[in-house]
Each structure stands twice: as C-alpha cells, then as structure tokens.
A and B are shown apart, each in its own frame.
Chain A
Amino acid sequence: MTARESDWSALMCRAQDGDGAAYAALLGEVVPWLRALAWKAGTQPDDIEDAVQDILLTLHDVRHTFDPARPFAPWLQAIARHRLIDRLRRQGRRQAREIPIEEEHETFPAPETNSHEVAGDARRLQAAVAALPEGQRQAVELLRMKELSLKEAAARSGQSETALKVALHRAIKRLRSLLDGR
C-alpha cells in the first residue's frame, strides 16, 4: 500500500465514524484520480464530470462496505469501474434506439434558431476557399483555419512569411468579393 493509499484508508475510516472534514478531504483528493479513470475508460470529455459525480454518490451510498483491513484504492476503483461500465452501457443503449436531432430538424420560429442557415454559409465559405488558387488557399487554411503562426505556416508550406502574408491578403479580398456577390 502506498503512503497516499494509506492516507486515503485512514481518511475513509474517519469518514465512516462521521468525520465530515476527513471525508471532504478524501473526496477532494480522489476527484482528479476519478476524472483520469473516467477519461481512460473512454468517457466523453463533456460527460466526465457527470461520471465523477455518479461515482461519488455511489461511494457515499456504499461507504459502510469499506473494510479498513483492506486497501482503499482497489475498493474505490471497483466502484468507479462498475459505475463507468453502467454509464457506457446506458450510453450504448441510448445511441442504439435514439436518433440525434440534427440542425436541419429544427424548425423553431425565431430566426436565430434556424441555424442551418449558418451551416449553409459555412458550406459556401468552404466552397469559396476550395476555389482559391493553391497558394492563397494554403495561406487561409494554415493561418486562419489551423491558426498557425506565420513562422509555423511558412515552415510547413515552404513559402516565405512575406509571401504568405500577401497570399492571405489577396485570398481574403477574393473571398469577400465571392461571398458578397450572393
């Protein structure tokens, strides 16, 4: 048992005896560890915090099952693994029977909710970029879309920094004229 695990076991024992401060310290310490476990288990980034909270609730509910004679980390890891597997199963079942609502399915009356128009603009912009001469297209992709620095873009494209600046300036002018003409 590592020193950290030994500390966790001691904190958990005190938590079982009703020491709220020890329990808060323990939960605070295990949260980053649980986030890492959730991430390794393939939980989506925007779902990790929910997964961690789910594990904490279960830990709280079964805290009387912790045996101080046994190490804390495997106990917590087992709880986390069960909960993460449950979540992945639920997610799988949901994905199997539900169809996500795409932007084109939304028909709300307010103009700002009809976001498919934005998607349409994006498609037009992509088409316009694709129609640019090679040098200009590369400048837009590297400097604007991938947001590389001039130095990085120059290294990657083999063009000088000045040539890239000029190409970008011309590309933007050309795109404006193409898109404004709609």
Chain B
Amino acid sequence: MSQPTDDLIARLTGNLAPVKRLTPPLWRAAGLAALATLFLTLLVAVRGLRPDIAIKIADPSFLTAVGAAWLTGVTATMAALEISLPDRSQTWIWLPAPAALLWVWGVGWGCLAHWVTILEARPVEESSVRCLTTLVAGSIPLALVLWKSLGRAKPLRRSATAWLAAVAVAAFADAAHLLCHVVEATVFVLLMNLGVAAVSIIVLGGIGGRVLPRAG
C-alpha cells in the first residue's frame, strides 16, 4: 500500500467516534409523510375548507386530484430518501410517476369537465393572493423539514434527491391548496395547481441540489 493511503487510513481510524446509523428510509418516509399530513391538515383548518367542498366531494376528478397529489407527496418522499443512500437502485425515481400522472390528470380533467361552468364563474383575482400564500405556507416548512432529513444522508445523487424532494413538497402543498381554494378559471386552475407546482419543483430542485451537504 502506498504511503499517503496508509497515512489517510491512520488519520481516518485514529480517535474514531461512533456514528448513529440512519433509520431505514421507509420508516423515515412514513414519519415524514405523517408529519406532512398533520401539517397540511392544520393548514387547511386554519385556512378553512373551500366553500363548495360539499359539491366537490362528490366529484371523482377532484377526489382523484387531491388523493393523487397527496400520494405523489408520499411516494416522492420515499423515493428521495431511498435515492439519498448510495446503494439504492436508481429505479426508485419512478415511484412517484403513476401518482403524479394521476394528479395531473385529476386537475386537468376537472378543468375540462367543468369548462362551461368555469367560463361563467366570477373573476379569480380576489383569491389568487390567498392561493399563493397557502402554497408558500405549505411548501416552505415542508421543504425545510425534508431537506434537513435528506441532508443527514449526505446524498451522492444530490440532484436526483433534490428533484424528488421538490416534487414531494409541491404535491403536498397542492393537496392542501385544492382543499382550501376555489379557483374558477380553467387556465388559472392549471396555473395555480400545476404551474405553481412546476415552479416550486424547478426552484426547489435547482437550489436544493446545491444546498444538500456533499459527502467526501
């Protein structure tokens, strides 16, 4: 063995401190999903349910959109925690894809099915700021908790981990948003739900990869 490598090993192994092993990722994902659900429930309670919730609850596309958004959040959290570990399969990145497709389909189908009633509805400007604040208030604390948890693994695949975490945050926040706000114009529905989610993903995913601690 060459001298510098010997020296390095001596340096790394001298006065070695014990380390706390990471809890298996699926346990951590379950904890984070529970925390996110609790937080979003509180957010919805503070903001109040949308006024037409009684009608919406009978609409399959609405239920699909909310359920799929939440499921996208859960599966993206699981995938991000798995991918953050060195030896886990790259195929974990596809875990949130089915739920994400269902989420996009639910929001899009809702717009299409109610095209006529949406066109006759009231102007949307009055609620747009509240919508955005709900999304931001939902996203930032979730992002901080998730990044803190992911950072403990010092992921080697930092970009993939950050992008999945960004998808999780955007999906959870949109689930709360769908329950709180009535957004009445088709384009605006897409913009508020999927557009803001896309912006969140791009911003959080782009910045997040740099923010996560680097190993080595």
Interface residues of A, Cβ cutoff 8 Å to B: 15-21, 23-24, 27-28, 31, 49, 52-54, 56-58, 60-68, 70, 74-75, 77-79, 82-83
Beta-carbon contact of A61 and B19 below 8 Å? no
Interchain residue pairs with CB less than 8 A apart (6): A16-B19, A20-B13, A53-B4, A56-B5, A56-B9, A78-B156
CB distance from A159 to the nearest CB of B (A): 43
Q: Which applies to chain A's interface (DSSP): helix, strand, loop or mixed?
A: helix
Tell me which of A27, A54, A78 contacts B86 (CB under 8 A): A78
Of the listed stretches B20-28, B50-58, B140-148, B162-170, chain A binds B20-28
How many residues on the B side are at the interface (Cβ–Cβ under 8 A)? 29
Q: CB distance B10 to A65 under 8 Å?
A: no
CB neighbours of B215 from chain A (8 A): 58, 61-62
Nearest-neighbor residue (CB-CB) of B18 within chain A = A18
Residue contact B16 to A18, C-beta cutoff 8 Å: yes
Residue of B at shortest CB range from A18?
B18
In chain B, positions 10-41 with a C-beta closer than 8 Å to chain A are: 10, 12-22, 24
How far is A53 from B5 in the complex, measured between Cα atoms in Å? 6
Given contacts A15-B16, A62-B215, A65-B153, 13 further A-B contacts (CB under 8 A): A18-B17, A21-B13, A24-B9, A31-B1, A31-B5, A49-B5, A57-B8, A62-B153, A64-B21, A64-B22, A65-B85, A77-B87, A78-B156
Residues B4 and A60 in contact, CB atoms below 8 Å apart: no
- Alpha-carbon separation in the docked complex, A61 to B151 (Å): 12
- When the two chains form their complex, are residues B216 and A54 in contact, meaning their CB atoms are under 8 A apart? yes
With the chains together, A84 CA to B110 CA distance in Å?
48
Decide yes or no whether B157 CB sits under 8 A from chain A. Answer: yes
User: B170-203: which residues lie under 8 A (CB-CB) from chain A?
Assistant: none
CA separation between A68 and B87, bound complex, in Å?
A: 13
Which residue from B10, B17, B86 sits with its C-beta under 8 Å from A62?
Answer: B86
Q: How many angstroms from the CA of A61 to the CA of B5 in the assembled complex?
A: 16
Does B154 make an interface contact (CB < 8 A)?
Answer: yes
Please measure, in the bound complex, the distance between the C-alpha atom of A77 and the C-alpha atom of B88, giving whole angstroms: 11
B91 in the interface, Cβ–Cβ < 8 Å?
Answer: no
Contact B154 A28 (CB under 8 A): no
Which chain B residues have a beta carbon within 8 Å of chain A's beta carbons? 1-2, 4-5, 8-10, 12-22, 24, 85-87, 152-154, 156-157, 215-216
Q: A78 contacts which chain B residues (CB < 8 A)?
A: 86-87, 156
User: Contact: A19 with B216, CB < 8 Å?
Assistant: no
Q: How far is the CA of A159 from the CA of B55 in the complex (A)?
A: 101
CB distance from B210 to the nearest CB of A (A): 15
Q: With contacts A56-B8, A67-B24, A78-B86 known, is A83 near B13, CB below 8 A?
A: no
Cross-chain contact B24 with A64 (CB below 8 angstroms): no
Contact B87 A57 (CB under 8 A): no
Shortest Cβ distance from residue B2 to the other chain A in the assembled complex, whole angstroms: 5
Q: Is the CB of A53 within 8 A of B19?
A: no
Which residues of chain A are within 8 angstroms of B1 by Cβ–Cβ distance? 28, 31
CB contacts (< 8 Å) of A28 on chain B: these are 1, 9
A62, B154: Cβ atoms closer than 8 Å:
yes
Task: Report the minimum CB–CB distance from A50 to chain B (whole Å).
Answer: 9
Whether A58 and B216, one on each chain, are in contact in the complex, defined by CB atoms closer than 8 angstroms, is yes
The docked-state distance in angstroms from the alpha carbon of A58 to that of B216 is 4
**Are A20 and B14 also in contact (CB < 8 A) when A57-B8, A61-B215, A67-B21 are?**
yes
Q: For A24, list chain B residues within 8 Å (CB).
A: 9-10, 13
| Cα A70 to Cα B20 with chains together (Å) | 16
Q: Are B19 and A63 in contact (CB under 8 A)?
A: yes
Known: A23-B12, A23-B13. A65 touches B5 (CB 8 A): no
CB distance from A130 to the nearest CB of B (A): 40
Chain B residues within an 8 Å CB radius of A70:
87
